Structure 1
């Protein structure tokens, strides 16, 4: 699968392309900028080496070694998928990268004939909740006190999007 351009975001064109194992170090660095309990590059690499894990990275067009603007990592088991993690660089948030990464994931899952996609999101992450709701995700569960925050703990909302096609 080739990357596809996102257009001009903040005067810089981005492209979304499939992750490769060498991206693990970039993922870990970006994850550390956006999560209080970041994953290491070894953890990312171990996940990426699993046959049922896939993902996409958004990077400035023509700048393969530059830090990514964002990424998504997902797992597909039979016909159910889950978003393992998604991150967008703070400097690139609210510019459409999260939507583009999720769109690439949804297209991949459509081609793989997946029937549903799950994710968990911090109940206080309003930009992410807005994105997921716009993409058709519905809350199906809640894990109280799942995330550590500066002010204590917050719940993880479990969300699902049905991917079944009309038969």
Structure 2
């Protein structure tokens, strides 16, 4: 476990050298406009403002990541149930992708799950999202199943999801 903590500290140090002080905070309704702006920029079928508001009102764990200038860099939402943390959404602003912020968000999301005594983290990812699948596998997630026609796709089509799990 020490190496994971050291790797997390090293990652944070490198990112703060680039972005200035980074801060996680609970997502609030005041964040929704900026969150939806990122969501619309990075997904072909983004969550709506209503989806985010419903998640907050339902008590899901949601956090934002901001830089030293208070710019929103990313966010995640997790639903806690019994002993499972379900990662519902995790996103990094388009201009800041592929720089390690996704891993930092995953570190925070899994830490949140552990601190709430969750034993497993689950997520679904589009079958076509090969970059995210590689990131999750590198992080330690394993494929445990598939959901056919889970996500909307273009031209009234549907796309399958890969279900992944990580022991916390």
**TM, length-normalised to structure 1:** 0.82
Aligned residues of 2:38 and 2:94 also touching (Cα < 8 A) = no
Task: Tell me the residue number matched to 1:57.
Answer: 64
Q: CA deviation at 1:27?
A: 1.5
Q: CA deviation at 1:104?
A: 0.5
**Residue 12 of structure 2: SS of its match in structure 1?**
strand
Structure 1, unmatched stretches of 5+, are none
Deviates more, 1:21-30 or 1:91-100: 21-30
Q: CA deviation at 1:12?
A: 2.2
Question: Aligned equivalents of 2:129 and 2:162: distance in 1?
Answer: 10
Question: Aligned equivalents of 1:95 and 1:161: distance in 2?
Answer: 22
Question: Aligned equivalents of 1:39 and 1:124: distance in 2?
Answer: 18
- 1:17 alignment partner, one of 2, 22, 25: 25
Deviations 1:129-152 (A, max 9, x none): 111112211111112333344596
Aligned residues of 1:6 and 1:16 also touching (Cα < 8 A) = no
- Between the two proteins, the alignment pairs up a number of residues equal to 156
Does residue 102 of the first structure (1) align with residue 106 of the second (2)? yes
- 2:84 alignment partner, one of 66, 80, 89: 80
Task: Tell me the residue number matched to 1:35.
Answer: 43
Deviates more, 1:147-156 or 1:134-143: 147-156
Deviates more, 1:135-144 or 1:95-104: 135-144
Deviations 1:8-40 (A, max 9, x none): 548322333332232122221111111222222
Deviations 1:29-54 (A, max 9, x none): 11111122222223212211223x11
**Residue 95 of structure 1: SS of its match in structure 2?**
coil
Over the residues paired in the alignment, what is the CA RMSD in angstroms? 2.3
Higher helix share: 2
Deviates more, 1:15-24 or 1:132-141: 15-24
Question: Aligned equivalents of 1:150 and 1:40: distance in 2?
Answer: 17
Task: Tell me the residue number matched to 1:48.
Answer: 56
